[in-house]
Amino acid sequence: MLEFDYRNVKAEILGDENGLNIETEFNNYNEKIAKIINDLNSRKDKPGQWLQWMNLGYNEETVWLVKEYAAMINGRFDNVLVLGIGGSALGGSAVCEALLKPYWNLLTLEQRNNLPRIFFLDNIDPDQINGLLDILDLKKTLVNVITKSGSTAETMSQFMIIKKRLEDELGDNYRRNIVATTDQNVGVLRQISNEEGYKTFVVPDDVGGRFSVFSAVGLLPFALVGINIEELMQGVKDMDLALKNTNIWHNIAAQNALIHYLMDTQKGKNLTVMMPYSNRLKYISDWFVQLWAESLGKEQDNYGNKVNIGPTPIKALGATDQHSQIQLYNEGPNNKLINFIRVKEFDTTLEIPQIFEFTGVGYLGGNTINSLINSEADATKVALVDYQRPNVTITIDKVNPYNIGQLLYMLEVQTAIAGELYNINTFNQPGVEQAKNYTYALMGRAGYEESAADLKQKMSY
Ligand code: PA5
């Protein structure tokens, strides 16, 4: 299992102003946490609760279906191009970055075991899209368009551009290069897919985008590039089992949720920094930032009171950001709770040769880069404590599918528990919808005429 170390949030270590009396708090909240965990588990199968993500680990059918499809098309494509945004892209790119060999897309076909390269297009910068289209041979590219709603402007505009090009290049056969992941029944993409006869996979009901990485949204791209999705899902299931424990002393997701909640509401630490000490985990921070921000940043609580709450997530990367952000974290406002992710054992070892022996860098020789990165993580933690800055550490043994499944699922459950502590709706995103609707209005979508008039007036101020 993952290890979770919360020593550096304790009042004994940080003092009363910045630290928590963990023993008292855990005991005080134990009953409430148990109620939250029982409640989440008892509501998860009810329609409309948006908790189906808690069942995804057990969805063997999807695992089987995506593997069957991946096997069927094996060898036909040089590239997979994923079109999606937000929850339809962040989990996919985070897991691929973590689990594929570094610089995957630059490896030869042989080095990639005959598996395709993978690209995530999650923005609508014309230069970026044109740049990618310049280097991709679309004839040899499988396009996986992912949108739960089926109508997100960014994703669908990308798809319209690429579909037209595929048609121009491949004639009637273009359909073979498209696979859509969307709602089972509703939405424009579902309608287009049915009419055009695309191969499709389903984003299950009651799974929000940011909680969808273990559905076909993530599993299909992972299977296409050879990631071991059974191991990934085993990690999810084992973590799910562990997090059913209602005793906070034995539930790491509940512990970290409560620590964040109390640090925010009692100690003024309303910024959450996610800082893995592993380049391969770099995009896990991007995924977490969306999960934490969209889930917990809310205007109203569950009683309809205006609360405007939510900790602000920040992404950082060790050791790189020691030379960028750590100055602020040590000496700037003491308003952050830093989450380190540590990797015990890297896949490879890299020795630093003993050259320049009698110089100021001589001490590095004979050491490994592995020990350097982990020493830097330790040193940063201790320095933060010297400045009374709270921090927690999640440690994984190795970066592998099983541990990544555990890590991501733990952070999902942590987010859901934190949402209950804040007493808000973790699973909606009215603040995102608002801007989406304004975009539709600006771009002339039918049915948004009233918003368009309202917007025009507001933009003329
Ligand atoms: O988490 C969410 O719900 C959002 O980030 C969505 O994933 C994002 O807006 C994309 O939506 P869709 O998948 O409908 O295109």
- Answer whether 155 contacts ligand 1 (Cβ < 6 A): yes
Backbone angles phi, psi at 81, to 5 degrees: -115, 115
- Answer whether 182 contacts ligand 1 (Cβ < 6 A): no
Contacts 24+ apart (CB under 8 A), 126-132: 129/158, 129/161, 132/81
Length of the chain: 461
- Answer whether 85 contacts ligand 1 (Cβ < 6 A): yes
The closest alpha carbon to 262, from 311, 205, 208, belongs to 311
The number of the ligand 1 atom at minimal distance from the alpha carbon of 429 is: 3
41 exposure class (CB count in 10 Å sphere: 0-12, 13-18, 19+): middle
Tell me the one-letter amino acid at 4: F
Ligand 1 centroid vs 84 CA: distance in angstroms?
8
Dihedral sign from CA coordinates of 135, 137, 141, 147 = positive
Tell me the one-letter amino acid at 74: N
Q: What integer pLDDT is reported at residue 438 of this predicted model? A: 82
Which of the residues are catalytic? Answer: 294, 323, 436
Ligand 1 atom 5: the closest Cα is on which residue?
86
Per-residue tokens: 208: 């929000």
Residue 275 Ramachandran class (φ > 0 left, ψ -120 to 50 alpha, else beta)? beta
- Answer whether 374 contacts ligand 1 (Cβ < 6 A): no
The number of the ligand 1 atom at minimal distance from the alpha carbon of 154 is: 15
> CATH homologous superfamily for 52-227?
Glucose-6-phosphate isomerase like protein; domain 1 (3.40.50.10490)
Q: Is the pTM of this model over 0.75?
A: yes
Distance CA 38, CA 391 (A): 28
- For the chain, 461 residues long, give each residue's pLDDT as a single digit of tens: 899 999 999 999 999 999 999 999 999 999 999 999 999 999 999 999 999 999 999 999 999 999 999 999 999 999 999 999 999 999 999 999 999 999 999 999 999 999 999 999 999 999 999 999 999 999 999 999 999 999 999 999 999 999 999 999 999 999 999 999 999 999 999 999 999 999 999 999 999 999 999 999 999 999 999 999 999 999 999 999 999 999 999 999 999 999 999 999 999 999 999 999 999 999 999 999 999 999 999 999 999 999 999 999 999 999 999 999 999 999 999 999 999 999 999 999 999 999 998 999 999 999 999 999 999 999 999 999 999 999 999 999 999 999 999 999 999 999 999 999 999 999 998 888 778 888 888 888 888 888 888 888 888 76
Instruction: Give domain limits for the chain.
Output: 3-43+233-422, 52-227
SS3 category, 45: coil
Distance CA 239, CA 268 (A): 30
Contacts of 273 (CB under 8 A, 6+ apart): 313, 314, 315, 316, 325, 329, 336, 337, 338, 339
- Answer whether 390 contacts ligand 1 (Cβ < 6 A): no
SS3 category, 112: coil
Q: Do domains 3-43+233-422 and 52-227 have the same CATH topology?
A: yes
> CATH homologous superfamily for 3-43+233-422?
Glucose-6-phosphate isomerase like protein; domain 1 (3.40.50.10490)
Q: What integer pLDDT is reported at residue 461 of this predicted model? A: 65
Mutate to test the pocket of ligand 1, among 52, 148, 151 (most ligand atoms within 8 A of CB): 148
Q: Where are the alpha helices (DSSP H) in 5-152?
A: 11-14, 22-43, 60-73, 90-99, 126-135
- Answer whether 187 contacts ligand 1 (Cβ < 6 A): no
Tell me the one-letter amino acid at 83: L
β-strand 391-396 against 3-5: which pairing, if any?
Answer: antiparallel
Ligand 1 atom 15: the closest Cα is on which residue?
147
Element (H, E) at 225: none
